[in-house]
């Protein structure tokens, strides 16, 4: 009878350890997915904004030496384009159409643009933070990353 109780106790301990390991692995997987999503979105936003700057004719705002939270460009056809943060969503207004640059699961904050150039050679520094929209409050969904980039008009 004592041996049976010992076996049950040992089996329960092993089962509890396996369950705890599985839970830990699932939490780790979710955290890695959250980090990957935030980092991928940051890279996509940078690539898109840098491409818009590279393909622009001129930078309207911010003026040389100034900073702001709205990037306004003029394309080669003379059309105005604007990248701005409204609430926690980054928008690209191009040809009078608004395009979302981030999904609702990712929040953008601290969107800052600085024109580092001289009048004949514009250079823009971009900085922003991305946060996973953690509605659950669980740690595995908490992640924030700051992104930086510099772009020039070609």
What the block records as the tokens of 31 is 């955290």
Could you state, in order of their start, the residue ranges of all structural domains in the chain? Answer: 2-152
Note the pLDDT of residue 137. Answer: 82
What is the chain's pLDDT, residue by residue, as a tens digit (154 residues)? Answer: 778 888 888 888 899 988 889 988 888 898 999 999 999 999 999 999 999 999 888 888 898 889 999 999 998 888 899 999 999 999 999 988 999 999 999 999 999 999 987 766 778 999 999 999 888 888 888 899 999 999 988 7
pLDDT of residue 50: 94
Helix (H, G, I), strand (E, B) or coil at 106: strand
Per-residue model confidence (pLDDT) at position 119: 65
Give the pLDDT of residue 120.
Answer: 67
Q: What is the pLDDT of residue 113?
A: 95
CA pair distance 63, 151, nearest whole angstrom: 15
């Amino acid at each position: 009878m004592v041996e049976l109780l010992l076996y049950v106790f040992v089996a329960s301990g092993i089962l509890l350890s396996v369950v705890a390991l599985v839970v830990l692995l699932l939490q780790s997987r979710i955290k890695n997915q959250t980090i990957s999503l935030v980092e991928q979105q940051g890279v996509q936003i940078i690539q898109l904004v840098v491409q818009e700057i590279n393909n622009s004719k001129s930078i309207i705002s911010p003026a040389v030496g100034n900073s702001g939270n709205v990037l306004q460009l003029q394309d080669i056809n003379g059309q105005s384009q604007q990248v701005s943060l409204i609430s926690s969503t980054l928008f690209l207004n191009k040809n009078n159409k608004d395009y979302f640059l981030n999904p609702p699961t990712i929040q953008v904050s601290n969107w800052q643009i600085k024109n580092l150039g001289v009048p004949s050679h514009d250079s823009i520094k971009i900085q922003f933070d991305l946060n996973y929209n953690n509605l659950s409050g669980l740690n595995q969904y908490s992640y924030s990353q700051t992104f930086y980039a510099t772009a020039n008009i070609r």
